[in-house]
Amino acid sequence: MADVTLNRSAAVEAARGDAQGKAANPASPRKLSRGMLCSLPVLLTLLLGFVAPLATVAAYAFATPRSFDVFRSFTLENFETIFDPANTVWTSFVWSLALATATVVLLAIIAYPIAWGLARVFGRWAGFVSVLFVFPLFVSENVRLYGWSLFFIKNGVLDGALKLIGMAGPDVLYTPGATLFGMVYVYLPFMLFPMVLGLAMVPKELVEAARDLGASRLMIWREIELPLAMPGIMIGMLLTFVLAVGAVAESKILGGQSVIVATHDIEIAFTYAQNWPLGSALALILTVIVGVLSLVAISRLDLDRILGRR
């Protein structure tokens, strides 16, 4: 008997609990969840500081050229100007994309062995080497680039030193090559560290296991190390590409405007030319190109794995 009453009261308890649960549920959507509430400041900042300016730029891109009547006129004239083959604006885009691509490829080749060393070989020296690579970041980019221009300039460090031993220095400053050099130099850490992260993610045991199963070094690299380190490498490539496409100081200081990159065109449009709509259209095109590339790359990445959530 006692058992039965006990069971019954338990059932009543359960039913009551259920009812409370149901009563509590409809109330919850009205209140913001705690996560939403906490992220609100960040969301607002992003909205005001990132989305709003971007929307303004997008709006300006469709305004009458050489005017400031944004939101009052709609025209595709700015884009026509840009895509008109008679104008040479498109060449700056080609230069920007070509220089950025070359930077990414060169950096991948240069950074991989260093990253491999940092992740696998250097051991307790890895920290020191990392600091050496980070250190230049404490000095302004422009200052460093002017330093390099002193290095490459006629009668500068390189040219002067070569003349001392009776050789003519190469004429490298103010060429697209110098621009490329500057980009590779400035963005090396941004390729290197994600790459180290990627390589560090490859468990040593997997490499040992592959070797134990008969694989050669090349096979291990192709089948195990590279695919497993790929997320890190991809992040490095994406980061450096985005930075290099948006770079302007290298082409100005080291390239000496021997080639005009897209960002330089945008700057001119907004400043000397006072043609904000054209500048906005240029910026919009560049943003779309970079945005699409980034989305494609990120969609192929497993961010959870990189952040160690899995």
Rounded to the nearest whole angstrom, what is the least distance from the CB of residue 166 to another protein in the complex? 51
CB nearer another protein, residue 22 or residue 309: 309
C-beta closer to another protein: residue 206 or 292: 206
Cβ neighbours, 10 Å, residue 78 = 26
239's tokens:
């980061």
Give the residue with the Cβ less far from another protein, 147 or 227: 227
CB 62 → another protein: shortest distance, Å? 45
Query: Residue 157 and residue 46: Cα distance in Å, rounded?
Result: 46
Cβ–Cβ under 8 Å, residues 266 and 122? no
Residue 284 CB, nearest distance to another protein (Å)? 38
In whole angstroms, how close is the CB of 204 to another protein at the nearest point? 9
User: Smallest distance, Å, CB 218 to another protein?
Assistant: 11
Nearer to another protein, 131 or 213 (CB): 213
Residues 66, 277 contacting (CB under 8 angstroms): yes
Return the amino acid letter for 26.
Answer: P
Q: Are 70 and 57 in contact (CB under 8 A)?
A: no
Nearer to another protein, 69 or 223 (CB): 223
**Residue ranges binding another protein (CB under 8 A):** 203, 205-206, 208-216, 219, 223-224, 227-228
Residue (69 or 302) nearer to another protein, CB? 302
Is residue 254 within 8 A of residue 181, CB to CB? The reply is yes
Alpha helix segments (H runs only) across the chain: 2-27, 34-46, 52-61, 77-83, 89-116, 126-134, 141-152, 157-164, 176-200, 204-212, 217-220, 226-245, 249-253, 262-270, 276-299, 303-306
Q: How far apart are CA 50 and CA 42, in angstroms?
A: 11
Beta carbon of residue 119, minimum distance to another protein (angstroms, whole number): 18
DSSP 3-state of 95: helix
Tokens encoding 198? 């990627």
With respect to another protein, which residue has the nearer C-beta, 33 or 216?
Answer: 216
CB of 234 to another protein, least distance (A): 14
How far apart (Å, rounded) are the C-alpha atoms in residues 117 and 235? 19
Pick the closer one to another protein by CB: 26 or 214.
Answer: 214
Chain centroid, CA 9 distance in Å:
62
Smaller CB separation from another protein, 215 or 273: 215
Q: How far is the CB of 228 from another protein (least distance, A)?
A: 6
Minimum CB separation of residue 227 from another protein in Å reads: 5
Largest CA distance in the chain: 113
Half-sphere exposure of 235 (CA within 13 A, CB side): 19
> Which structure tokens are listed for 287?
């943003």
